Amino acid sequence: MALFSNVAARSPWLYRINAGSCNGCDVELATTACIPRFDVERLGCQYCGSPKHADIVLITGPLTARVKEKVLRVYQEIPDPKVTVAVGICPISGGVFRDSYAIEGPIDRYFDVDVNIPGCPPRPQAILEGVAQAIEIWKQRLQEAS
């Protein structure tokens, strides 16, 4: 178990959930995935395509009523000890959509958020810093669990 934890701690998997974003934050996430200057994988993590493989979940968007149930269902599929990161001001407070009839967020109404990355959208540097914080939290949780 300890060996597995050490191996896993060097390779956390990132998973992205779009909770009704305007896509601005998602473009910045794509920047950290595709542009070498901001390459998030240099932090020792990698994007994955399934919530069941994820360790760190990055959530964009204000959690619209239309996607709420799907987002909550996918979120529940991510195994513990997951680390939750709110990317952009929308998931943190609703941002420019706050108080809209179509918004069910902010996301901390439904689950705990470990790292907030404010901005509209946040700069790639801020996203890298937030992911680095999330990795440290995740390593700590793995150690506590082992």
Closest approach of ligand SF4 to the CB of residue 94, in Å: 9
**Tally of CB atoms within 10 A around 36:** 7
Query: What's the CA gap between 50 and 37, in Å, rounded?
Result: 26
CA dihedral of residues 71, 26, 46, 66 (deg, nearest 10): 10
CA-nearest of 13, 32, 10 to 117 is 32
Nearer to ligand SF4, 13 or 21 (CB): 21
Where does this chain touch ligand SF4 (CB under 6 A) — which range of 16-24, 30-38, 40-48, 103-111?
16-24
71-90 positions binding ligand SF4, by CB under 6 A: 88-90
Give the angle subtended at the CA of 55 by the CAs of 6 and 28, to the nearest 5°: 120
Closest approach of ligand SF4 to the CB of residue 135, in Å: 22
Considering only 9, 25, 45, 78, the residue that binds ligand SF4 (CB under 6 A) is 25
Residue type for 126, please?
A: A
- Please work out the total of residues on this chain that contact ligand SF4, with binding judged by CB under 6 A: 13
Q: Please give the residue ranges that form the binding site for ligand SF4 (CB under 6 A).
A: 21-22, 24-25, 60-61, 88-90, 95-96, 120-121
